[in-house]
């Protein structure tokens, strides 16, 4: 028996809750006072300029979610049932959900040990597709760790495939010194409440292509033509970000450096406490240069112990989560082709995302460590 006390004794620690203070409230009040309460306004323009600069891109379009951003890029590319979308199997559903709705064929590729897409398996998948064109590769910066933009770009160029970077989790991360989202025809960000910065809900498309940016912006606003009356040559969406939420995003962006520092300190705490020889049975995903430490992922020696950690934390009213369940294991994608699969299955069975919220206090970390340690001692390998 692990003696933890009642979960009701403690205030809940969430995995990655929004971290906001009076500056976000002031920003919203200022936006209200300016009169721009509608989806368009100066804060959206300012937020888009700041996002383009952050991504090292020429253009950014702020939208209602990361999923909407992916959907809009696919709409611009014309993804339909004649397309194949290749994606890492270890990701969140939103990477491929829009492709599924568009009727595209989905092909999944396993991860390497760091959790990013395995480039040699991607190469095999693209070779098997035979350069038939109409192939989109979704790179995913898993848990804020950029995938290998250089390798994916090279393979896509060789295969004539389009590369889009799903950097939903990677705002503020870098790949070889360049910003997350800088690779491929477009990158996408998420500002969902659990992300590194939030607009409560929101997302963005970042790109160097004026044609892509203009089309995505138009599609996001019902594809209305420039005309006094409502004229439509194509059917669009209502995916724009509201000006009020853009004001929250601007306040959050100004804090990004301190958020990244705090997230790294939290990750360092876990590594120091549990990652050293003799400190217990846990290991961690190998570090990736430039990661933003969105979530720290620990690996238990077995699935059984991983479940015990989650239960022990839950008993202390602490939220933790298994690593993403691979897409090729999802019932809805049972018929899809997968290249490899064993690595992501192993990460899913043993991996646990530890609380990583920017607002975590010392006492919170102590409580989390207490829960993990109880299981660690029972694991019998360390301490």
Ligand X SMILES: Cc1ncc(COP(=O)(O)O)c(C=O)c1O
Give the residues lining the site for ligand X (CB under 6 A): 65-67, 91-92, 94-95, 140, 166, 168-169, 190, 192, 203
CB within 8 Å of 145: residues ≥ 6 apart:
114, 115, 116, 170, 173, 285, 288, 291
Tell me which residue of 272, 315, 276, 322 sits closest to 295, measured CA to CA. Answer: 322
Three-class SS state of 218: helix
Closest approach, Cβ 66 to ligand X, in A, equals 2
* Residues 129, 78: Cα–Cα separation, whole Å: 19
Q: Which is nearer to ligand X, 7 or 238 (CB)?
A: 238
- Residue 65 or 344: the one with the smaller Cβ distance to ligand X is 65
Q: Provide the minimum distance between the beta carbon of 44 and ligand X in the complex, in angstroms, as a whole number.
A: 17
From CA 194, how far away is CA 179, in angstroms rounded? 20
Q: How far apart are CA 192 and CA 195, in angstroms?
A: 5
Residue nearest to ligand X (CB): 66
Q: What are phi and psi of 77, to 5 degrees?
A: -70, -20
> By C-beta, is 65 or 252 nearer to ligand X?
65
Residue 181 or 379: the one with the smaller Cβ distance to ligand X is: 181
Q: Which is nearer to ligand X, 93 or 377 (CB)?
A: 93
CB of 279 to ligand X, least distance (A): 30
Q: Compute the least distance from the CB of residue 201 to ligand X, in Å.
A: 6
Token digits of residue 9? 């004794």
Distances (CA, A) of 356 to 15, 142, 165: 6, 15, 23
Which 3 state secondary structure label does DSSP give 206?
Answer: strand
**Smallest separation, CB 188 to ligand X (Å):** 7
């Amino acid at each position: 028996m692990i003696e933890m006390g009642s979960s009701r004794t403690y205030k809940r620690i969430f995995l990655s809750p929004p971290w906001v203070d009076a500056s976000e409230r002031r920003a919203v009040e200022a936006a209200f006072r300016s009169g721009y309460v509608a989806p368009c306004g100066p804060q959206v323009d300012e937020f888009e300029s700041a996002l383009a600069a952050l991504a090292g891109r020429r253009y950014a379009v702020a939208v209602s979610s990361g999923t909407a951003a992916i959907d809009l890029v696919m709409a611009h590319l014309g993804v339909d049932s004649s397309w194949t979308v290749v994606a890492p199997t270890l990701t969140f559903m939103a990477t491929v959900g829009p492709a599924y709705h568009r009727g595209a064929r989905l092909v999944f590729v396993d991860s390497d040990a760091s959790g990013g897409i395995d480039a040699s398996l991607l190469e095999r998948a693209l070779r098997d597709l035979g350069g038939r064109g109409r192939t989109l590769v979704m790179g995913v910066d898993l848990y804020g760790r950029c995938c290998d933009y250089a390798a994916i770009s090279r393979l896509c160029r060789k295969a004539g495939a389009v590369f889009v970077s799903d950097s939903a989790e990677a705002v503020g991360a870098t790949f070889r010194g360049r910003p997350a989202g800088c690779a491929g025809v477009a990158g996408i960000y998420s500002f969902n409440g659990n992300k590194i910065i939030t607009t409560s809900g929101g997302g963005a498309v970042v790109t160097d292509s004026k044609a892509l940016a203009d089309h995505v912006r138009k599609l996001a606003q019902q594809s209305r033509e420039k005309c006094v009356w409502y004229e439509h040559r194509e059917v669009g969406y209502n995916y724009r970000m509201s000006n009020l939420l853009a004001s929250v995003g601007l306040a959050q962006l100004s804090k990004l450096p301190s958020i990244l520092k705090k997230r790294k300190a939290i990750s360092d705490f876990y590594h120091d406490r549990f990652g050293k020889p003799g400190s217990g049975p846990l290991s961690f995903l190998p570090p990736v240069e430039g990661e933003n430490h969105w979530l720290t992922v620990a690996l238990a020696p077995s699935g059984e112990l991983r479940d015990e950690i989650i239960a022990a934390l839950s008993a202390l009213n602490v939220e933790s989560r298994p690593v993403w369940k691979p897409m090729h294991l999802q019932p809805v994608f049972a018929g899809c082709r997968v290249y490899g699969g064993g690595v992501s299955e192993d990460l899913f069975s043993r991996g646990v995302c530890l609380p990583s919220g920017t607002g975590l206090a010392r006492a919170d970390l102590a409580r989390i460590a207490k829960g993990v340690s109880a299981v660690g001692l029972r694991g019998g390998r360390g301490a």
